A = this chain, B = another copy of it.
Amino acid sequence: MKYSQFFIPTLREAPGDAVVASHKLMLRSGMIRRLANGLFAYLPLGLRSLRKLERIIREEMDAAGALEVKPTVVVPGELWKESGRWDTMGQALLRVKNRLNGDFVVSPTAEEALTSLLRDDLSSYKQLPLNLYQINTKYRDEVRPRYGVMRGREFIMKDAYSFHTDDASLDETYQEMGRAYRRIFRRAGLSVIPVRADSGAMGGSGSEEFMVESGIGDNTLILCRACAYAANVEKAACKPDFTALSPAAAKEAAASLPPPGRIDTPDVKSIADLCAFLKTDSNNFIKTLVYRADNIEADGLPAGGGTSSGFFAVLIRGDLEVNETKLAALLRASEVNLAEDTDVERLTGAPVGFAGPLGLKGLTIVADETVSAMTGAVTGALARDAHYQNVAFGRDFTPDIVADIRTVTAGDRCPICGGELYEKKGNELGHIFKLGYKYTKSMKVSFLDADGKSRTPLMGCYGIGLDRTLAAVIEEHHDQAGIIWPVSLAPFEALVVPVKYEGAAGEAADKLYAELARLGVDTLLDDRRERAGVKFNDADLTGIPFRVVIGDKNLASRPPLVELKRRGQGEARLVGLAEAAAVIAREIRTELAELDGAGGRG
């Protein structure tokens, strides 16, 4: 491609709202342009990279046995009502009325569409397993789109949905997808952190997120300094720093403890105040919080069918925080929120700050595991300015549910090896997830097994955001001057820059360009009448990996020489004009092989 016939409107400065490197560089290098808040168009240069990423993903999905399909982008709202997500997705779901007043959705994801597609054609276990994917436009009506295509409203996602007769088959595809994702990100030149999004217990992992470290990440990752443990804070576990007891054992352990005693605690507003007042540590308090949970699933049925909302009293050790994601998962609710003050007063009979488990009626009590080790603790007394002390789990109260609902933080211990945990911010690029029966049950999918019995298939889903993956590559590969593309995703692999496109340099440039094309190297020839400085700046900005500069002086050498430079690597070197194309083709092959990984597939 000749530069003069292409369209690369580079910018000296990025607009003020572009604050992260990828957003700035994609705008400045002429890869993308903003159409509206959260809506970006790809210009020719950006689209070339996007298409290369698309090709890598398609190759790896096909190699993993997945089959590509293409549902529509606009889908009937009816399907979302069947799954229950019409009600639970909230405002992120872009809803449309057509001319006949029918409800439609601009798809943010396609569990419904794919499940519905399959259900009419699935009859026999012989058709399973089946893994269907698409690479298609999605829309999510983000409250606050930002960071360019990293968090846009419209985006391209590769999403796959697999269907299975049994757990073993689901697990096999799930693992294969995990391997495919590692290959995809490796070929894209990305250092991803595969993060378990489950509780961290050994085996039976049902959810894994592929994260990149990012200062602007909207996920907090918990990582171990000693082993490979990595989890999303929403799900991270840690090694217990307490000894959990059963209610019976706890009751026995508290035999010698005096009974709970009520104490007056006037003017005490916070746990810190209470610690000071009672001269004790916060880990001796049982915090009692009232939560409202919405869209609670009942009996394996999804929200939408027999769902309900409810209030719960949630107990946790005073030095810890409740992890709302864990709590919602435990309660199978679509979301949980702290109850309004008026609800707390009505339900506990006391102002906010004085709730406690003793004498609490009409609320299901959920306790974090840490509470099961507490004896001689302090709790609210369900009355203004009053607390109980000498409270013991098992003896004075027994929660309805005891589970891990704490938020793990830096300094906690690794659940695998006991090493010290630390935190990082991360951005999620991909996610693989065992859905189980969630959609196949609610949308009534079935097949006949080998015995002729009707059964419900299991399902898995596997997504990758293409735009943000591309942005993440730029975040990881750039310098002050611009992008430094890995060859696998570079819009062009080589850039031929005659200092002046005329005379001998012009001829040499044309010849080298033709030779590179013959060797299958994707090449851009800068044939513009611009100053060399302008050409070099644009070359650095657009980040094309191999730059060949053709100048009269080097051409006059015998044999004639050209300057070859790998973007992002030290100095240019002189290479014979005659060998340049072969050298570049060889180095591209080497880099691609490195990205593919020495070990090949698997």
Q: A40-B72, A94-B74 are in contact. Are A132 and B67 (CB under 8 A)?
A: no
User: What B residues does A121 contact at CB under 8 A?
Assistant: 7, 9, 30, 33
Which of A42-50, A218-226, A300-308, A376-384 forms contacts with chain B? A42-50
A486 to chain B, nearest CB (A): 21
Choose among B40, B117, B126 the residue that contacts A35 (Cβ–Cβ < 8 A). B117
| B94 pairs with A35, CB closer than 8 A | no
Is there a chain B Cβ closer than 8 Å to A96's Cβ? yes
Is there a chain B Cβ closer than 8 Å to A68's Cβ? yes
| Residue of chain B at shortest CB distance from A123 | B9
| Residue of chain B at shortest CB distance from A127 | B7
Choose among B35, B44, B68, B143 the residue that contacts A67 (Cβ–Cβ < 8 A). B44
| Residue of chain B at shortest CB distance from A30 | B121
| Docked complex Cα distance between A425 and B68 (Å) | 35
| Docked complex Cα distance between A525 and B73 (Å) | 32
Is there a chain B Cβ closer than 8 Å to A130's Cβ? yes
Is there a chain B Cβ closer than 8 Å to A71's Cβ? yes
User: What B residues does A40 contact at CB under 8 A?
Assistant: 72
Q: How many A residues have CB within 8 A of the partner chain?
A: 53
Question: Per-position contact with B for A107-142: 1 when CB-CB < 8 Å, else 0?
Answer: 000000100110011000011001010001101010
| Docked complex Cα distance between A505 and B594 (Å) | 42
Is there a chain B Cβ closer than 8 Å to A41's Cβ? yes
Is there a chain B Cβ closer than 8 Å to A99's Cβ? yes
Choose among B43, B126, B137 the residue that contacts A69 (Cβ–Cβ < 8 A). B43
Is there a chain B Cβ closer than 8 Å to A70's Cβ? yes
How many identical chains are in the complex? 2
Choose among B116, B130, B139 the residue that contacts A74 (Cβ–Cβ < 8 A). B139
A73 to chain B, nearest CB (A): 5
Is there a chain B Cβ closer than 8 Å to A154's Cβ? yes
Is there a chain B Cβ closer than 8 Å to A500's Cβ? no
| B94 pairs with A96, CB closer than 8 A | yes
| Docked complex Cα distance between A6 and B66 (Å) | 9
A72, A106, A120 pick with most chain B CB within 10 angstroms: A72
| Docked complex Cα distance between A121 and B45 (Å) | 14
Is there a chain B Cβ closer than 8 Å to A597's Cβ? no
| B91 pairs with A70, CB closer than 8 A | no
| Residue of chain B at shortest CB distance from A51 | B68
| Docked complex Cα distance between A43 and B127 (Å) | 14
Is there a chain B Cβ closer than 8 Å to A255's Cβ? no
Question: Per-position contact with B for A402-444: 1 when CB-CB < 8 Å, else 0?
Answer: 0000000000000000000000000000000000000000000
| Docked complex Cα distance between A33 and B72 (Å) | 11
| Docked complex Cα distance between A39 and B96 (Å) | 15
| Docked complex Cα distance between A154 and B96 (Å) | 14
| B94 pairs with A41, CB closer than 8 A | no
User: What B residues does A96 contact at CB under 8 A?
Assistant: 94-96, 106
Q: A7-B130, A7-B132, A36-B75 are in contact. Are A41 and B70 (CB under 8 A)?
A: yes
User: What B residues does A130 contact at CB under 8 A?
Assistant: 7
Can you show 10 pairs from A to B with CB atoms below 8 A apart? A33-B121, A42-B70, A44-B68, A47-B70, A72-B137, A73-B139, A74-B94, A74-B139, A94-B98, A98-B153
